[in-house]
Amino acid sequence: MTLDRWIAFVFLLFCLIYGYTAFFVMDDQLAPFLKNNPVWPSTFPKVLSVGGIIVGLFVLLGFEKNVAAEKPPEINYRRLGDYKLGQALLLLGLMAAYALALHPIGFLLSTALFLIVGAVILGERNFLLVIPVALLATGGVWYLVQVVLGIFLRPLPFFLM
């Protein structure tokens, strides 16, 4: 079995476990007054798990393969440096730093810095485009979560609150 099918198999197992949790475990823990609502907290996880199962089966069964297409080259594990491994590791480190910085410096500053530095790591050099887009995206997500959904996100650093 090829690498993409192994990854699809692991992804399918994850989606099946996630779906079982969304369909059976989460719904059993709902308060009685929430059971009359049309949308439950488990609705989005249910949609994600069903979509993931469909995609996982699609790849696992090989439906995405084009019969006339040539076989793609296999990954050469001896030449991992050719696959931009440094960028991937830097992005993983940036994600960890973002998670650690989220509470002390607030959502707005940490998310904007994450988006700007992430774009630079990926090779974007047009700062006149990156900075406004990062600021607008950060502000928009904060507004949706804080105001529309009513979930508190610390917007500013702890010493300014």
Task: List the end-to-end C-alpha distance of the chain, in Å, as a whole number.
Answer: 55
pLDDT of residue 66: 59
**Is residue 76 within 8 Å of 103, Cβ to Cβ?**
no
pLDDT of residue 25: 82
Residue indicated by tokens 């774009």 = 119
Is it the case that residue 88 has pLDDT exceeding 80?
yes
Is it the case that residue 146 has pLDDT exceeding 90?
no
pLDDT of residue 71: 64
pLDDT of residue 149: 79
Is it the case that residue 30 has pLDDT exceeding 80?
no
Provide the whole-model pTM.
Answer: 0.56
Confidence of residue 44 (pLDDT cuts 50, 70, 90): confident
Task: Return the SS3 of 43.
Answer: helix
